[in-house]
Amino acid sequence: MVGLPPLSVPTVAAGVVVAVGLALAAWALRALGERRRDAARGRLVAVDAGRAMTLRSERYRLAGRPDELRQLADGRLVPVEFKSRPTPARGPTPSHVAQVRAYCLLVQESTGVAPPYGVLRYADGEFRVRWDERARAELLAVRVELLAPYDGRATPSPARCARCPWVRGCDARVTGGGPSRPRSPSVVGGPAGPA
């Protein structure tokens, strides 16, 4: 076996210094990359967990708080919604897209300036959600549909209603002999004015 020279204190110290230097350089490069990515996404303006900013629209009787609000170089705000799960196999779900579009509507109503898009960020990827007149019309059509009285499609049962988290506000729940009477849209929170 070939004999190795004994390690001296200066040799070990130099090795430690080199290793720490390489670790710091890697950390600095990673932080620089994250800063560049953040700059491209826009300046962070609000975070749901920190500087929370609740957006409100009296016109549509909506309120919400996106996970982040980013300000682009031109001053427009972009709502960002995080999902902890990976992207679904067929892409973003319609409910997630509707949620981001609702935030876009709230940004537009709150600031008077439409965001160019919203961001839906899953654990493994990010999607830009279109926000234009067509997307706005689609969102408002979904809102109208949600505000419509119960149409009889559900089949309530005592067992199903007992474990449903929405039973207190549901107009299809079982109340004794059958479904309760549908509530009027004004009780549910109908339109506050013309769209």
22 inside domain: no
Answer whether residue 64 is part of any domain.
yes
Give the pLDDT score at 6: 73
pTM across the whole model: 0.61
Q: Final residue of a domain: which of 112, 128, 147?
A: 147
Q: What is the 3-state secondary structure (H, E, C) of the chain?
A: CCCCCCCCHHHHHHHHHHHHHHHHHHHHHHHHHHHHHHHHHCEEEEECCCCCCCEEECCCCEEECCCEEEECCCCCEEEEEECCCCCCCCCCCHHHHHHHHHHHHHHHHHHCCCCCEEEEEECCEEEEEECCHHHHHHHHHHHHHHHCCCCCCCCCCHHHHHCCCCHHHCCCCECCCCECCCCCHHHHCCCCCCC
Q: Are residues 132 and 76 in the same domain?
A: yes
In a shared domain, residues 130 and 44: yes
pLDDT for residue 39: 58
**Mean pLDDT lowest for which of 22-36, 75-89, 123-137?**
22-36
* Residue 56 is assigned to a structural domain of this protein: yes
pLDDT per position as a tens digit, 164-184: 887 777 767 665 444 444 433
For 79, the domain range is 27-147
**Do 113 and 181 fall within a single domain?**
no
Domain total in the chain: 2
Which of 147, 162, 181 is a domain's end point? 147
**Whether residue 42 sits in one domain with residue 138:** yes
Residue-wise pLDDT tens digits, 30-88: 766 666 665 566 766 656 565 667 899 999 999 999 999 999 999 999 999 999 999 99
